[in-house]
Amino acid sequence: MPRQARLDIPGLLQHVIVRGIERSDIFLDDDDRQRFVDSFSSLLVETGTDCFAWALIPNHAHLLLRCNHFDLSRFMRRLLTGYAVTFNRRHSRSGHLFQNRYKSIVCEEEPYLLELIRYIHLNPLRAGLVKDLENLDRYPWCGHAVLLGQKAFAGQAIDEILTLFGRKKKDSRHAYRQFLSDGVAMGKRPELVGGGLRRSHLLESNGAVKGDYDERVLGGGDFVAALREEPRLGGKMPRTMDLISLQARLSDYFKLPATDILRRGRLNQYSEARELFCYLSVTELGYSGAKVGAMIGIGTSSVSRAVRRGEELFLSRPELKEWWICS
């Protein structure tokens, strides 16, 4: 399907990931990093944007932002365009520096704010840029050292975060440092980087799809549902197709009667149609597993399994992707 519009309104917590084109490095030396940090800090102050976490890795960067008065798209355009021009001039290169457009994931602040801060600030350690947590405490290209008072960075929301760990700054910094240390053994945390309710439910033992869902959102079903009703989004989260229309399109594709498309049976065509219906309904159109299951007559755990099988089918057949884009 065509790429979806960004969810870009003031007050939303956004996890932004910027990558180099073809996975190439976007920071070649400390001068590059300092130029990016200086520009980033100045923009935060100028636009009144809150930054809760950040980390620079050679070929990508993580930013956790809440734009209060300024569109994220405008903020990132100014940050990345200016940096790319300077980078190309410094290193005698031309062409695009960044991979496509940056990735932004709208995040529900409770319960994800602190988890995302921990995830982002541990990135340099996971990437092997520092050997241990003690070195990360002094690492200059990450917001962790700023929260510990080891580095100054105008624009980072230090007090707002530290007050979540205690009243006195010394005690809250100690509690934050322990919170970060507890996260080292958690590994890569894939449920925090891909967006969508499905990934967030990797935290649960059954992994079932529950509630409303959108790939651009990290949060619970109620949060996603509330965003769909948010008038300031101006219709940017519409469902592009109802389930009856999807059933009809799959009927045309498989050349089966629409009434038979979702029926339970062991014939390969029927099972493939049913699995694709679940995958496209939940992943591409954002319907809840409960709603899809009610239409087919199966439970949400069965829908979840069908979604996974439908995804494998969809990705293994290029003609299916072409059909879906054109549908």
pLDDT at 243: 83
> Per mean pLDDT, which of 16-25, 230-239, 242-251 is the most reliable?
16-25
pLDDT at 95: 87
pLDDT class for 231, splitting at 50, 70, 90?
Answer: low
Q: Mean pLDDT over residues 138-148, rounded?
A: 96
pLDDT at 218: 81
Tell which wins on pLDDT, 275 or 268.
Answer: 275
Tell which wins on pLDDT, 320 or 113.
Answer: 113
Q: Which CATH architecture has domain 13-186?
A: 2-Layer Sandwich (3.30)
Task: Report whether pLDDT(240) > 80.
Answer: no
Percent above pLDDT 90 for the chain:
41
Task: Report whether pLDDT(175) > 50.
Answer: yes
Q: Mean pLDDT over residues 300-313, rounded?
A: 87
What's 197-326's CATH class?
mainly alpha
In whole angstroms, give the CA distance from residue 289 to residue 291: 6
pLDDT at 87: 95
Q: Mean pLDDT over residues 137-142, rounded?
A: 96
pLDDT at 38: 96
Task: Report whether pLDDT(2) > 90.
Answer: no
In whole angstroms, give the CA distance from residue 218 to residue 15: 9
Q: Mean pLDDT over residues 208-224, rounded?
A: 65
Model pTM score: 0.67
pLDDT at 121: 97
Domain range list for the chain: 13-186, 197-326
pLDDT at 114: 93
